[in-house]
Structure formats: C-alpha cells, structure tokens
C-alpha cells in the first residue's frame, strides 16, 4: 500500500507549530499528536494551575479545526448544564411535540472540555455515554456521533473538583501530565509571548483540515499489525504498567487496594502518596 507522504509532513508541521508556541513537555506533545491519528481520539491533559493545559488544548484544536471547534467549561456548565441539547420550546407549545435542539458540542468534530473535573455528575454521565457508545440522548431522542477529536484538561488539585468514577477516565485514550518549567524555560516563554504579541493561541495556524485527519486515520487503520505484536502492545499497556505499591516488587506493600483503585493486579490509576 502506498501512503501519502504529504500527510506525514502535515502531522510533523502540526507538531512543530504547537512546539513553537508551547515551552517544555516535548514528549507529552509528541504523544498527544500521535494520539490524534486514530478515530474518535480522546486526550486528557492534567496539571496544576498555571502550567498551560488550556493553552495546549486550544493549540491542538486550532491546528486542526481553525476556529471551527467548541470548548465547554466545566466551571460554567455546572450552572448551565445544557451540554447535550435542549427542548425546542415553540414546537412544544404550538404542536405539543418534543423536538431537541442538539448542542454545538455534540455536532462539531472538534470538542474541548476545560476543567473537566468541575463537570457536574449529570453532564459527566452524558459525556461518558458519548465516549462509550458514540451517541447521546436527550428527552428520549438519540443523536449518533460521528468521528471527532476530544481534548480535555483538568487540575487534580482543584478544591472544587467533582469526584468522577474511574470508568469515566478510562474512556480517554491517553493522559499526559505537564511538568513545571525550569527557570530558563520561563525566560523562553516570555520571549515567545513577546514574539507573538501575547497571543499564542490566536497566532496558531490551521495546519490541516479534519478531512485530512480522517484520511490519515483511514491510512493508519489499514496498517496491518502482526497478532503477536498486537498482543505485546496490549500486554505493555494493560499488564506491565508500573505502580509504586506493587505487591511483589515494591517497598510499599499495602494491605488492600488503594482507595478508588478499580484494577486488581499491579496496575494503579489512583496512587496515593504516604
């Protein structure tokens, strides 16, 4: 099979443009770019306040969709709550028919969630269903979701955080953690802000279209992987993840699973220090 080399160049350019506006965390950015290359990709960016998680989310979305994407805020959605859809009141009043006006968030291919940890449980359940089954429900009506890119971010140390169930976080393909900048990197960031007039996101060009990305995803899906290699990959992902509280090889040997952990062996998604 002959692959389009122009697509490879576009993906490389997307990574270059993001890194030109974002200081540090190069490996995390590379992983985020690679994760975009399969259907219905989902990414969670985690970091404390002020490390650029919202900026990175917007840079990635803008590089693919230009301005044609939707970002919802967990902080404001707690109050509004109409993330999926709302009733069309005139139809209900005049015809007695319940018609749903689907939100831009479910219709757009480019989706972002800022401060996902602040989403209320009802909204979280709707988004979980969308990620799990590729559809959303509102007032007895169903809307099928096509291909998309969903990027979310959260501050795990936010005191106003809702505690989401572990299966919700399992719906994200990967989670990347942003590290703090060194002193020299902070000076580099100031230089970038000066270069782009303080508008890092607005200066980000649209490098490729969603149609380009869909074609790339189609090529990626057609790559044949040996069954033994696929099994090795699955083993690395599921069975050989490292936990500081592993029963057999760690100096920390808990009597029971950590609070919130829903795995049963040496895999941990809820490590507690101390």
Render 110-160 in DSSP notation, one character per residue.
Answer: EEEEESGGG--HHHHHHHHHHHHHSEEEETTEEEE--S-EEEEEE-TT-TT
For the segment 71-82, what is each residue's pLDDT rounded down to a tens digit?
998 877 544 556
Ordered domains of the chain (ranges, CATH): 5-223 (3.40.50.300), 226-274 (no CATH)
**Residue 203 falls in which region: left (phi positive, over 0), alpha (psi -120 to 50) or beta:** alpha
* pLDDT tops 60 at residue 268: no
Burial of 47 (0-12, 13-18, 19+ CB in 10 A): buried
Q: What is the pLDDT of residue 239?
A: 59
Q: Are the C-beta atoms of residues 46 and 175 closer than 8 Å to each other?
A: yes
* pLDDT tops 70 at residue 119: yes
Q: What is the pLDDT of residue 240?
A: 53
pLDDT band at 4 (very low <50, low <70, confident <90, very high): confident
Which of the pair, 246 or 68, is modelled with greater confidence?
Answer: 68
44: DSSP letter: E
Which letter, b or e, does each residue of 237-267 get, where b requires 16 or more Cβ atoms within 10 Å of its Cβ? eeeeeebebbeeeeeeeeeeeeeebeeeebb
- Percentages helix, strand, coil for the chain (3-state, rounded to 5) are 40, 15, 45
Q: Name which of 40, 59, 270, 268 is nearest 172 in CA terms.
A: 40
Q: What tokens does 63 get?
A: 């590089």
256: DSSP letter: S
* pLDDT tops 90 at residue 261: no
For the segment 120-161, what is each residue's pLDDT rounded down to a tens digit?
888 888 899 999 999 998 888 899 999 999 999 998 888 777
Q: Which residue has the tokens 């057609």?
A: 222
Separation CA 227–CA 234 (nearest Å): 10
Helix H, strand E, coil C: the string for 172-218 is: CCEEEECCCCCHHHHHHHHHHHHHCCCCCCCCCCCCCCHHHHHHHHH
Mean pLDDT of 244-261: 53
Which of the pair, 273 or 45, is modelled with greater confidence?
Answer: 45
Q: Which of 147-151, 221-225, 255-259, 267-271 has the lowest mean pLDDT?
A: 267-271
For the segment 157-166, what is each residue's pLDDT rounded down to a tens digit?
887 777 888 8
Separation CA 25–CA 269 (nearest Å): 21
152, β-bridge pairs: 44, 113
Q: Which of 6-10, 60-64, 117-121 has the lowest mean pLDDT?
A: 117-121
SS3 of 272, please? coil
Burial of 20 (0-12, 13-18, 19+ CB in 10 A): middle
Q: Which of 56-60, 214-218, 231-235, 246-250 has the lowest mean pLDDT?
A: 246-250
pLDDT band at 1 (very low <50, low <70, confident <90, very high): very low
Q: Name which of 85, 124, 81 is nearest 106 in CA terms.
A: 85
Mean pLDDT of 192-209: 93
Q: Are the C-beta atoms of residues 133 and 121 closer than 8 Å to each other?
A: no
Q: What is the pLDDT of residue 267?
A: 47
Mean pLDDT of 79-94: 70
């Amino acid at each position: 099979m002959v692959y389009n080399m122009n697509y490879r160049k576009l993906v490389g350019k997307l990574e270059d443009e993001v890194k030109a506006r974002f200081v540090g965390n190069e490996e995390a950015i590379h992983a985020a770019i690679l994760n975009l290359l399969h259907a219905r990709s989902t990414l969670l960016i985690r970091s404390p306040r002020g490390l650029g998680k919202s900026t990175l989310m917007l840079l990635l979305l803008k590089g693919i969709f230009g301005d044609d994407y939707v970002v919802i805020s967990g902080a404001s959605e707690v109050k509004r709550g109409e993330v999926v859809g709302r009733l069309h009141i005139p139809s209900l009043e005049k015809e007695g028919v319940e018609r749903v006006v689907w939100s831009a968030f479910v219709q757009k291919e480019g989706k972002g969630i800022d401060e996902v940890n602040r989403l209320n449980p009802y909204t979280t359940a709707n988004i979980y269903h969308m990620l799990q089954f590729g559809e959303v429900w509102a007032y007895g009506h169903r809307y099928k979701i096509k291909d998309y890119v969903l990027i979310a971010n959260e501050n795990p140390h936010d005191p106003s955080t809702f505690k989401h169930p572990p299966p919700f976080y399992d719906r994200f393909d990967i989670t990347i953690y942003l590290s703090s900048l060194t002193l020299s990197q902070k000076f580099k960031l100031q230089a970038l802000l000066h270069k782009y007039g303080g508008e890092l996101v607005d200066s980000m060009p649209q490098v490729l279209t969603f149609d380009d990305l869909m074609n790339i995803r189609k090529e990626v899906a057609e790559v044949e992987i040996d069954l033994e290699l696929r099994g090795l990959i699955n083993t690395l992902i599921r069975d050989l993840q490292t936990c500081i509280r592993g029963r057999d090889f760690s100096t920390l040997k808990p009597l029971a699973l950590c609070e919130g952990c829903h795995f049963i062996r040496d895999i941990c998604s809820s490590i507690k220090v101390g």
